[in-house]
Amino acid sequence: MTPTRDIERLVEIMARLRDPDRGCPWDVQQTFATIVPYTIEEAYEVADAIERGDLDDLRDELGDLLLQVVFHARMAEEAGAFGFGDVVLAINEKLVRRHPHVFGDLEGADPQAVKRLWATIKAQEKQARLARRAAQGLPPDPPAGALDGVPGALPALGRAVKLQERAARVGFDWPEVRQVLDKIEEEVAELRAELTAGDPTRLADEVGDLLFAVANLARHAGVDPETALAGTNGKFTRRFAHIEARLAEVGRGPHEASLEEMEALWQEAKAEERR
């Protein structure tokens, strides 16, 4: 296999698919906006393959994700903005620039020093971008807020943690994890009140506040909430499958069992997991 030629071939295939006269009608009509959901979906499928430990699937899913990069780059090239080669060049330069302790003469940096260095380099990159915009006669970016730059398309739990991390950098954070627990209890009390009131809009708002507070607890505890919830989803799936299997042994389904029966089987599944 010749990786460079294979990449060139992929770029050529994408160009052919986007050819207005000889390409695929579906591919031709796509835009950045219409492709974004597929890009996000492919990233999740990569994560799923990793979670399952299936390296064959991981290879295929990484290929699908790479296709998304090539697709976006092709559309940008058609617009006269940049091409796939520019994407590769940009990330190569960024990786070298942000790792002077690896590619430069800075040696012996510990993880904390690397983190500080990373922040300094990112600030320098921002200043260079501002100077570049000024040289091109473009208006400067609006003043940056502490929360700017957190992508709106991130999964909600992950974005909550990113927003909280940004706010913490400027001192807007609970100093102790017990205070976060107190906040969760406060949000639960407010949610109870809205359940009684029955206003759907306010109820949704309070559920969101509770989830945000739980994400904050995860951050303080050093737990990634997306990973934690994914693990619980898997656990729920396994235990419910146990309920279905045990009921199937006697020719029944969950819809034919009482909640008490299913709860007993749920506890049985929990006990088996602990063995």
Instruction: Say yes or no to pLDDT of 10 above 60.
Output: yes
- Per-residue model confidence (pLDDT) at position 227: 87
Give one DSSP letter per residue of 39-84, joined into a string: HHHHHHHHHHHHHHT-HHHHHHHHHHHHHHHHHHHHHHHHTTS--H
In tens, the pLDDT along 125-137 reads 878 887 887 888 8
Q: How many Cβ atoms are within 10 Å of 238's Cβ, its own excluded?
A: 12
pLDDT of residue 102: 86
Look at residue 163 and tell me whether its pLDDT is greater than 60: yes
| DSSP-derived 3-state class of residue 147 | coil
Q: What is the pLDDT of residues 78-112, one digit of tens each?
A: 999 999 999 999 999 999 988 888 887 776 677 78
Question: Residue 143 — very low, low, confident or very high, per pLDDT cuts 50/70/90?
Answer: low
Average pLDDT over residues 247-270: 96
Amino acid present at 237: T
Alpha-carbon distance 173 to 165, whole Å?
Answer: 9
- Mean pLDDT value across residues 187-214: 95
**Does position 141 have pLDDT exceeding 70, yes or no?**
no
Q: What is the mean pLDDT of the chain?
A: 91
